[in-house]
Amino acid sequence: MPEGNEIHRWAERHAAAFAGKAVRVDGPQGRFIDAALIDGRKLQRVMAVGKHLGYDFGKDRILHVHLGLQGDFTEGSGPLPEVRGALRLRMWNAAAVKRPEVPGVSKRHGWYSNDDGTGHIAADKVAWVELRGPMDCSVFSQEMWERLLKRLGPDPLNGDRPERLVAKVAKSKKAIGALLMDQSVAAGVGNIFRAELLFRARLNPFTPGSEVEKNTLRSIWKEAGVLMKAGMVDRRIVTTKPKDRLHKKGTVLKEEAHYVYRRQGRPCFVCGTKVLTKVMEGRNLFWCPVCQAGKQEEAHE
Ligand SMILES: [Zn+2]
């Protein structure tokens, strides 16, 4: 599932491509019946909060998109491509799709570190986007959007202060590894950042929220802002510090980009102990039992 960095990046790209213009929207396979409510209207802005996108078409009409586990955008320049696959929605700029394609640079963006960030179209050259497989794609009223915002915790990419998160965690007996995945605690933090932020803080993921130092939470928050912002720019999530990498110079190797995420059974870069994994909140959690010493749960390498 894309994390907050990815969602904020889409918001920036789609705003650069479409905001301030009358935008065409359809659901060519009948999978987006609300299209008529916004088709041809001027897109005022694109908002991102946590893992939610909101395309504000004014007049109480906000297109809400949550990609969920499967959802993905494709984009391109030039004419609209043929309708293929289970296509939920298309959004395009009527003038831009009449222009010729920018040569050789229309491609799907990969997720996480699968994408090196190269070879993409400049955002203002994007003529159309397609959306497939989202968890939600529907038109919200302003009130519905605001209700959603109330449910979400602070978002490190929106410059929010961490105090609501700090208060919520301090009151909870739940494990910090579970709390960080709760979107009402921290909006936009997903599975990669959960694992990596906890490692960088040398915090055991099973520590109850109420036992985590408030200053530790504040520094985790600060790091989340910096690392997620970096992940917006180059589309890679790199959480290792150069001093902890075997290859300290040049492009960070894929296998050295994370401390613990998907590194189960491999030696920790800091202490050499094998990284462990266990399912927590429905997703695989990864941690080093030495660097993140504390309450240990049954786990496998
Ligand atoms: Zn370690």
Query: What pLDDT was estimated at residue 118?
Result: 61
- Separation of CA 273 and ligand 1 centre (Å): 5
pLDDT at 62 over 70: yes
Q: Which of 267, 187, 264 is nearest to 228 (CA)?
A: 187
- Separation of CA 272 and ligand 1 centre (Å): 6
Express each pLDDT in 250-298 by its tens digit: 888 889 999 999 999 999 999 999 999 999 888 899 999 999 998 655 5
* Residue ranges near ligand 1 (ion) with Cβ within 5 Å: 268, 270-271, 273, 288, 290-291
Instruction: List all residues 6 or more positions away from 290 whose beta carbon is below 8 Å from its beta carbon.
Output: 268, 271, 273
| 123 confidence band (pLDDT: 50, 70, 90) | confident
- Separation of CA 215 and ligand 1 centre (Å): 22
- Separation of CA 17 and ligand 1 centre (Å): 44
- Separation of CA 301 and ligand 1 centre (Å): 13
- Separation of CA 32 and ligand 1 centre (Å): 48
Express each pLDDT in 225-234 by its tens digit: 999 988 877 6
Query: What pLDDT was estimated at residue 249?
Result: 86
- Separation of CA 265 and ligand 1 centre (Å): 12
- List the catalytic residue out of 45, 245, 274, 283: 283
Query: What pLDDT was estimated at residue 113?
Result: 47
- List the catalytic residue out of 9, 13, 24, 51: 51
- Separation of CA 124 and ligand 1 centre (Å): 44
- List the catalytic residue out of 2, 134, 154, 205: 2
Instruction: List all residues 6 or more positions away from 240 whose beta carbon is below 8 Å from its beta carbon.
Output: 252, 256, 257, 258, 259, 269
| 283 is an active site residue | yes
Q: Which of 30, 11, 7, 152 is nearest to 90 (CA)?
A: 30
Express each pLDDT in 172-213 by its tens digit: 999 999 999 999 999 999 899 999 999 999 999 999 999 999
| 2 is an active site residue | yes
| 222 is an active site residue | no
